[in-house]
Structure 1
């Protein structure tokens, strides 16, 4: 097998469970803010209800019964593209506009949240016109908590915010814009701040529903320059996480909302979350939301430290992690956020999750798309490390398209067992920084470092240089690999097209074309006449082998359905992710 790059031991030390500070920006100037003496003002109507409206729970969304659904990001045509090519429409994405947040992206998975009932609000901002809706009125109402809606007229409205709204720690707060309200922080301030003292033990909810947040900027505080005599030691900002919202020790629900052009501090080993940053949060659930062009040192869109997260039916595009040097233990370095800390970030273009979640909690990302997210260091789209002990992670019916990182075009996932179902990884690359400069490096697709994986009914298409790389072993069943090989797993019932492997893996009932270095020991060579990647039905793009072709009947013991959710032939199933 090829040698793996050495990654320094990570990250926030377990002692921080008792004294959580890693990744936290503190925001001391805001934590002492008070709402004493505030009252509702012109344009704010008080109602007769608090924020007790509950969201209705849906199903788990964990199966692949998606027959008949249509991919949100792939369309097919009759062009005669080859197996190593992509249909010209495949990578198109619907990013919507600032007024499209009412319904969110396509609902591929059954999310555990529905819209909260806001029909009896505590406060209504505005009196029917855009001019009646002001940031001052919203701040006054939101800092008292409760259910807050808007009456700004029938058309989309942008409300300017000049100051951060400090949410109450003992009252649920629901903001519902009904798809019409954009909050614009003008690049001057963070939108929302919540800080409760009880470590991971506070049920107070913050609900952001059918809202758009733009131009948020987390306050960064003092900058600490790199020491030229100790260049590996940590530098940058200690504070400055969460361009839209910072939550410590509360429950966060985000439903059908949009986050665009927001920023956290861009240098620092722990800071990040261009849109959202949470620490010590017992539950963070995001569904039907879009994250576009957000930036941070780590976690261009979302940063999380010690949380129980779940993400459903959401879209992440053009988010960037712009720090440099990662975040690691470097002996001899002075205390930064903790002793012996090195680097200045750059991990995870989209979603960064560091630290333990509850042992019985599965970190779910279901029905979501990650397109053109970029990281200067580890994980173009995802970064995950629990630091102590192994945790469970599920990628279900997701799409990862054209994400890049210096190491791990899609991900850096450490000490997790990852289950991958009905997911497509396409055109992801490693060895590339956020500016698109070629640096060279392995691990182009899904990289699981010191963890294990089980992959079923998934497609790896033109990831460079590898499609799947696992250091802790695992199994792959009914996958299609085009133009990027897997490493570190056993493979059954799978197709390898335009792939030549230096070292054969273990497995059975596989097919490879054209003839080259065996990807699995004893593999058969025949042409499955694989079609282009496109919309063949189902939630994600797939590549269809020819009916009655070489892939037919090669598999044995296949899953009951294929990547699209269509039934397989129980007596003679095909190799690959899709049953022709």
Structure 2
């Protein structure tokens, strides 16, 4: 989807806001702990409501290695977030799983077992032994549309699914006939309902896969419902150029009745060298999709395309939304209790790029911290690290933007 007539619309501007500077009380991101394996066209800087991007701002350094592998290795999200999580955003009870991957040893937890379990659906857990384990995916796990309707993948805090830098890790698409047709309105059906929780997704890479517009280095979703709880996304990739593709970690194209994707207590990046990289949306990307992001951390992600959207003449396009890229018409984004720090974009929105083409979309950022998210070319005046076009100025109660 291409945003249109942006430069003309920018004269509407976004009112400047006086925002408090970051102080020592800001919540710090939770660093990633190593496991067993390793838009619219860019407006001119002088446009009303738009300020040129900032540069030369660093982020937090890498975290120290743990002294010994703990029994619970997954420490995702912002522990100081404090945002209330509604029932819809909480983890699914998997105490009585439909199926279990593994028989108690690391060797029994294979890529083939993951692919088979995901295709079968239901509540899926892992039994790979007491220590953390990395499963090297040799094929993408694909959700079958006629299974479930709930498909829950719960790693118990000890499982990493690795794309080995070669492939996407997880795929769900209600409009992909190869995964089974279940309704006559595939773009707006309430199933499957996919949840990933207590997992790490590492080294996913969808580069070269341009089906459905590309993107989604670790996870691609179209249709049904999708939720992420207590999970980490590290070193994921998708194509480096393109005006509207994105989501090094996650790409979502539609959800039933525009219900939101919940991202709760999860980390994207978390330390130097652990972030995602894509043309747009170094962590999340979507078209016409609403999000609720609670008590999470986004750091060291990058949007590396050049030329924005629509692409400037002579450029391949992209480069917006260092952490989050959202385009479309009517959708909403709510971020609460979250730290977005040390991300960058070559073009607009070092932290967040939000464009509602029909200007009906809304965004709120509550009790969150956005800091040191340089935008290489443009951002909205008064909202450092953000480029926003929507129904009204973003609400930022209790938040610190710098």
Counterpart-to-counterpart distance in 1, 2:373 and 2:77: 22
By percentage of residues, which structure has more helix? Answer: 2
Inter-partner Cα distance in structure 2 for 1:151 and 1:285:
26
**Structure 1 SS opposite 2:112:** helix
Tell me which of 202, 210, 215 is aligned to 2:203: 215
Do 2:168 and 2:205's aligned partners in 1 also have CA atoms closer than 8 Å?
yes
CA deviations on 1:288-322 (whole Å, 9 max, x unpaired) are: 00001101100011101111211001100110000
The within-5 A match list for 1:166-185 is 166-170=142-146, 171=148, 172-185=150-163
- Report if the CA contact (8 A) 2:132-2:159 is conserved: yes
Residue 327 in structure 1 maps to residue 344 in structure 2: no
Q: What per-residue deviation string (whole Å, max 9, x for no partner) do you get for residues 199-225 of structure 1?
A: 233342110101000000014247xxx
- Which of 286, 310, 317 is the aligned partner of 1:344? 317
What is the aligned partner in structure 1 of residue 166 from structure 2? 188
- The 1:105/1:329 distance shift into structure 2, 3 A limit, reads closer
1:58-97 matches, within 5 Å, as 71-73=26-28
Cα distance, 1:329–1:322 mapped onto 2, change above 3 Å: closer
Alignment partner, residue 245 of structure 2 = 271
| Structure 2 partner of 1:44 | none
Corresponding residue number in structure 2 for 1:355: 328
Matched residue SS, 1:299: coil
C-alpha deviation, 1:122, in angstroms: 1.1
8 Å Cα contact 1:101-1:289 kept in structure 2: no
Match of 1:399 in 2: 369
Offset at residue 102 of structure 1 (A) = 5.5
Structure 2 residue aligned with 1:287: 264
- Structure 2 residue 382 is matched with structure 1 residue 382: no
TM-score normalised per structure 1: 0.52
Q: 2:387 is matched with which residue?
A: 412
- Mind listing any 5+ residue stretches in structure 2 that lack a counterpart? 10-24, 30-58, 176-185, 270-274
CA-CA distance at 1:401 after TM superposition: 1.5
Once the two structures are superposed, residues 35-56 of structure 1 have per-residue CA deviations (whole angstroms, 9 ceiling, x without a partner) of xxxxxxxxxxxxxxxxxxxxxx
Query: Which residue of the partner structure matches residue 16 of structure 1?
Result: none
* Aligned counterpart, 1:251: 225
2:216 to 242, 262, 281: 242
Note the C-alpha offset of 1:416. Answer: 3.4
Q: Provide the secondary structure at the position in 1 that maps to 2:239.
A: coil
1:410, CA displacement in angstroms?
0.7
Q: Measure the CA separation in 2 of the matches of 1:200 and 1:218.
A: 25
Per the alignment, residue 133 of structure 1 pairs with 109
Shift of 1:93: 9.1
Higher Cα Rg: structure 1 or 2? 1
Deviation, structure 1 residue 271: 1.1
Partner SS for 1:280: coil
With over 3 angstroms needed to count, the CA separation of the structure-2 counterparts of 1:164 and 1:8, relative to structure 1, is: farther
Match of residue 86 from structure 1: none
Task: Determine if contact 1:124/1:148 at 8 Å carries over to the other structure.
Answer: yes
**Compared with structure 1, are the counterparts of its residues 96 and 247 closer, same or farther at alpha carbon in structure 2 (3 Å cutoff)?**
farther
1:304 to 271, 275, 286: 286
Shift of 1:279: 0.2
Describe the SS at the equivalent of 2:251.
strand
Q: What displacement does 1:329 show?
A: 7.7
The residue number in structure 1 matching 2:181 is: none
1:206 partnered with 2:194: yes
Deviations 1:123-156 (A, max 9, x none): 1111111111111111111111111100111111
The equivalences for 1:450-465 within 5 A come to: none
- The answer on whether the counterparts of 2:359 and 2:389 sit within 8 Å (CA) in structure 1 is no
Could you say if the C-alpha distance between residues 193 and 91 of structure 1 is closer, same or farther in structure 2, counting changes exceeding 3 Å?
closer
CA distance in 2 between partners of 1:183 and 1:368 (Å):
24
Note if contact 1:202-1:251 (Cα within 8 Å) is conserved in structure 2.
Answer: yes
**Is the 2:229–2:263 Cα contact (8 Å) retained in structure 1?**
yes
1:214–1:260 Cα contact (<8 Å) kept: yes
Could you give the per-residue CA deviations for residues 315-356 of structure 1, whole angstroms, max 9, x where no partner exists?
0011000000001288xx9xxxxxxx9851101100001113
Partners of 1:180 and 1:393 lie apart in 2 by: 34
Task: Supply the distance in 2 between the matched residues of 1:368 and 1:103 (Cα, whole angstroms).
Answer: 12
Q: Secondary structure at the match of 1:213?
A: strand
Change in 2 beyond 3 A, CA 1:91/1:157: closer
Q: Determine the C-alpha separation between the residues in 2 that align with 1:349 and 1:214.
A: 18
Q: Could you list the per-position Cα deviations for residues 473-519 of structure 1 after superposition, in whole angstroms to 9, with x for gaps in the alignment?
A: xxxxxxxxxxxxxxxxxxxxxxxxxxxxxxxxxxxxxxxxxxxxxxx
Q: Number of matched residues?
A: 321
Corresponding residue to 1:108 among 73, 82, 93 = 82
Counterpart Cα distance in 1 of 2:64 and 2:298: 9
Alignment of 1:520-539 (within 5 A): none
- Looking at structure 2, the residues matched to 149 and 275 of structure 1 have their Cα atoms a distance apart, in angstroms, of 22
CA root-mean-square deviation: 2.7
Q: 1:121 to 1:212 in 2, by over 3 A?
A: same
Contact map agreement 1:327 1:342 (CA 8 A) in 2: no
Q: 1:389: how far off?
A: 3.1
Q: Which residue of structure 2 lines up, in the alignment, with residue 368 of structure 1?
A: 338
Partner SS for 1:405 = coil
TM-score, normalised by the number of residues in structure 2: 0.74
Q: Is the 8 A contact 1:299 1:350 kept in 2?
A: yes
